[in-house]
Every structure is written in structure tokens, then in C-alpha cells.
Amino acid sequence: MKNYVVIQTADKFLSEKKYIFDFIFKENLGIEYNIELNEEKNYTLIFEDKKIIINDAFFSKFNDCDIYYQIDNIPQNICFFKYKGKKIPIIYGNDNLDFGDKEIFIGLDIISSIFFMLTRWEEFAVNKKDIHARFDENYSLSKKYEFCNIPVVDFYLDILFFYLKFPVIEKKYEKKSKLIFTHDIDYPYNTIKDIFPISSKNNRIDIIKNYIKKSYVTYEKLIKLGKKNNSNSIFFFMVNREAEFDLNNKYPKFNNKIKKYINKVLSSGHIVGLHTSYNTFLNIKKIKKEKFVLEKTIKREVLHSRQHYLRINVPFTLRMLNSAGIKYEYSMGFSKFPGFRCGTGKNFNFYDFIERKKLKIKIFPFYFMDTYLNGKLPELYDNTIKTDIIIIIHNNYNAKKEKVKLIKEVIRHFKKHKKRKLCLNF
């Protein structure tokens, strides 16, 4: 029996197709594939005596030199189908599903739909920005049609696995989901100097209260949270403050106090990453400089990063981070609500759709951030299809008691099916 899938496809957009074939078969189904070129419109998958034909509703419309990442090529109407109790969008293709004796036709263009979600070429094509020059997530297809809270890519993979099901794939496909804690250190500790630039009396009172109870010095609690829940947590430290949204230069330089906190994180087995400053998102020189400063401080290579204010300009910021030597990027999530910006919680290599090449940098999309909590718990994904869940908890999370309670509820939600004892004493 052959332990690989034969994929027949037309000789165009092979770089884009191979990127998705790698993601589907090698990285998720755990099986090799061979490509055979033909003149047919659709994709044909062959294994043993079975054949699956997948509708090519997108790439087949273009010549290889055409620029497909344009707003006119984003679907204007989305249909849905039910799968495992969820409404799953058909981004490209249709809901046809035909069975023959040894042949199955799937109308959903799984290949292009996954490519659309992972590469985020939609954000480049739509080109709508918010006040921070980020993609305005309200214009995303997943927000417009209300499927941002479903990891559609993982559902597409599960559907394909269902029809490809045989022992070689089944054994490798079964993977457990991970709950990963990450922490943005926007304020390394409380300082009395923070009080005076604040114009609002209420804000000054809050800062004084937090200064007295040292609410930002939560490193040991966050370290304990990761250790007790078997999560190798990442702490993102800033090294530069020059913009208004970098909190007016109130982030102190790497004095002995900050170095002490960093050493605590590292000695506990957790990871220190770079929280790149506000103006780095289109400036590779600043990225490299900040990476160098942090590396010099911790005396080891910095491989993990997250953009301050989640400022990502696709694909340019990711291209720059890749060139600067960042291998693992954690900014891809929504700024105002929980969800799967890339359609998955799984990590994956980014594909530069303009330069048409797969980059070394891996995207670790986050699902939830503590800033979403405004007095009540938002609707959360129920893990119908297993995927990784990355949570952002800022080091000043315990400034308000009600937020601490809600954060614990979020963690409890994603751990409720785990047998391991849950530690929420933080």
C-alpha cells in the first residue's frame, strides 16, 4: 500500500498550491504527497483504489501571472452548510457532494478557502484601516458573515480527513489541542511617575491604587499559571518607547529590577519574546535594533515576537520580521473580540502572496485577549473540532478584581474537558 497521496492538478499557481498541500498533508494529516500535472480544471486526490475530486473554483479562473489578491475576487455572498452542529462557510465553491462507486466529488474548494484564510490576502485587498493603521477587522469576511468564532480551516481539514480516512492518516491525524498562555508586559512594574502625566482624576486614582498594591508585578503568579497548567508560556517585553501609543516613554530602560523579572521568567523554563514597539510595523531597522537590545540583555537569541497594539500590515510586517530573524509571531488575532483571524488556532508558515513564496516565519494565531472583558464573558468557541487556543493575559491583569474572575472563567472554559487538575490560583 502506498503511504502517500497522489494529487493531480493543472500547471499554474503551483507555489500557492504546494503551500496549502504542505499545510494539509504534511503538517496536519502527517502524510506525504506526489503532484502529477494535468490539464484538468479540478484537483484529483488518489490513494489506493479511491479518488476524490475537489472543485477548483478559484485558481482555475486565472492565468498564472494574474494578480488574484484584489477586492473583486473576495466573495460577496457566502453560503453555509451544517457539519458537526456548526454552520460552516463555503468561501469558494459550492455545496455539491456527489458519490460514485470509487469517486467522490466535493464542491467546496477546500484548497483556495484555506489559502484565503491563512495568507490574509483579503486584508491587503480590502485595505480598510482603523486609527492604528491596522486592518479594520469589521471589514473581514469572517466578521461580516459571523464565522470568526469558528476555526473554519480546522473544520475543512476534518472534512477532508473524513473522506481520506484510512489507517495511515488516521493514526497521525489524532492530535491534542494545546492551551497556551502569553503575556504582554506593557508596564513592567508600577512607578509613582506614571501618575503625573495622566490628566484624568479617575485614572490618577486608579494608578495610585495599583501602585500601592503593586498590581503590575504579577510575574510569579503568571509563571505559576503556566507551570501548573503545563503551558510553556511566552512573556513579551518591550525595549523601546517613542510613540504616543507606547505610553509616552514611561517604559523604563532595562534596569536591574526588569532584569530580575526577566531572569525569573527564564529560570522557570518559560520564554522571553520581543514586544516590538508601536512604530516598528513598517520599519525593519527598528525591529532589528529592538531585537538586538533584548538579545544583548538576555544573552540569548530572540525568536518570538508580538507587535504592540497588534500592528500588522499584511504581508509587509511579516516579511520584515522574517528578514529580522523572528521565527515565531503571535500578533494574528482580533483586537476587539475573540476569534480565529486566520481560521485556525494551529501554527503555520506564512506565505507572502506578493512575492509568491513560503516564509520561514511561523504564525501562532491567538484566540483571546483579556482586554475583551468589559464586565461580562463573551461567547467562546466550544472546541467541537480540536485546535490550539492561545490566550493573551497582560501582566497588569489583576488591576480589577472583576477581570480576574472573568479570566479564570475563560481558562476554565477551555480546560473543562481536560482530566488534568486546573490551577487558577493566580
Check residues 398 and 8 and name the one with the higher pLDDT. Answer: 8
* Domain end position, chosen among 140, 173, 206: 173
3-state secondary structure of 261: helix
First-to-final CA distance of the chain: 52
Q: Out of 40-49, 168-177, 185-194, 201-210, which region has the weakest mean confidence (pLDDT)?
A: 201-210
pLDDT the model gives residue 374: 87
Question: Binning pLDDT at 50, 70 and 90, where does residue 216 land?
Answer: low
As a whole number, mean pLDDT of residues 134-154 equals 97
**pLDDT(205) > 70:** no
- Cα distances (Å, whole numbers) of residue 6 to 13, 46, 49, 205: 18, 5, 12, 66
Q: Out of 195-209, 263-277, 280-294, 402-416, which region has the weakest mean confidence (pLDDT)?
A: 195-209
Question: pLDDT tens digit string along 79-97?
Answer: 999 999 999 999 999 999 9
Do 331 and 193 fall into the same domain?
yes
Q: Are 262 and 237 in contact (CB under 8 A)?
A: yes
Question: Considering its fold, how many domains does the chain have in total?
Answer: 2
Q: Is residue 310 part of a domain?
A: yes
Check residues 187 and 417 and name the one with the higher pLDDT. Answer: 187
Check residues 272 and 100 and name the one with the higher pLDDT. Answer: 272
- Express as a percent the part of the chain with pLDDT over 90: 70
CB count in 10 Å sphere of residue 296: 11
Do 122 and 209 fall into the same domain?
no
pLDDT the model gives residue 215: 47
Q: Is residue 158 part of a domain?
A: yes
Q: Which long-range contacts (CB under 8 A, 24 or more apart) does 88-97 make?
A: 88/147, 88/150, 88/152, 88/155, 88/156, 89/142, 89/145, 89/147, 89/152, 91/116, 91/117, 91/141, 91/152, 92/57, 92/58, 92/116, 93/55, 93/57, 94/55, 94/57, 96/55
**pLDDT(426) > 50:** yes
* Domain end position, chosen among 173, 204, 223: 173
Do 17 and 158 fall into the same domain?
yes
- Show Cβ contacts of residue 329 under 8 Å, excluding neighbours closer than 6 positions: 304, 305, 306, 318, 321, 350, 361, 362, 363, 364
As a whole number, mean pLDDT of residues 244-260 equals 63
Question: pLDDT tens digit string along 267-321?
Answer: 999 999 999 999 999 999 999 999 999 999 999 999 999 999 999 999 999 999 9
Question: Binning pLDDT at 50, 70 and 90, where does residue 138 land?
Answer: very high
As a whole number, mean pLDDT of residues 13-24 equals 98
Q: Is residue 268 part of a domain?
A: yes
Q: Residue 270 belongs to what domain range? A: 179-415
CATH number at residue 346: 3.20.20.370
Check residues 331 and 418 and name the one with the higher pLDDT. Answer: 331
Do 135 and 256 fall into the same domain?
no
Mean pLDDT of the chain: 88
Do 267 and 152 fall into the same domain?
no
Do 49 and 131 fall into the same domain?
yes
- Which amino acid makes up residue 73? N
Axis-axis angle for helices 256-267, 284-298 (nearest 10): 80
pLDDT the model gives residue 212: 45
Do 254 and 364 fall into the same domain?
yes
pLDDT the model gives residue 26: 93
DSSP class of 422: P
**pLDDT(248) > 50:** no
- Express as a percent the part of the chain with pLDDT over 70: 85
Question: Binning pLDDT at 50, 70 and 90, where does residue 213 land?
Answer: very low
* Domain end position, chosen among 111, 145, 173: 173
Q: Is residue 264 part of a domain?
A: yes
As a whole number, mean pLDDT of residues 121-132 equals 97
Strand partners, 34: 6
- Cα distances (Å, whole numbers) of residue 358 to 42, 56, 121, 154, 380: 23, 21, 14, 20, 32
Do 165 and 211 fall into the same domain?
no
As a whole number, mean pLDDT of residues 7-31 equals 95
What DSSP element (H or E) covers 374?
none
Question: pLDDT tens digit string along 32-60?
Answer: 999 999 999 999 999 877 899 999 999 99
pLDDT the model gives residue 202: 52
Q: Out of 158-167, 345-354, 376-385, which region has the weakest mean confidence (pLDDT)?
A: 158-167
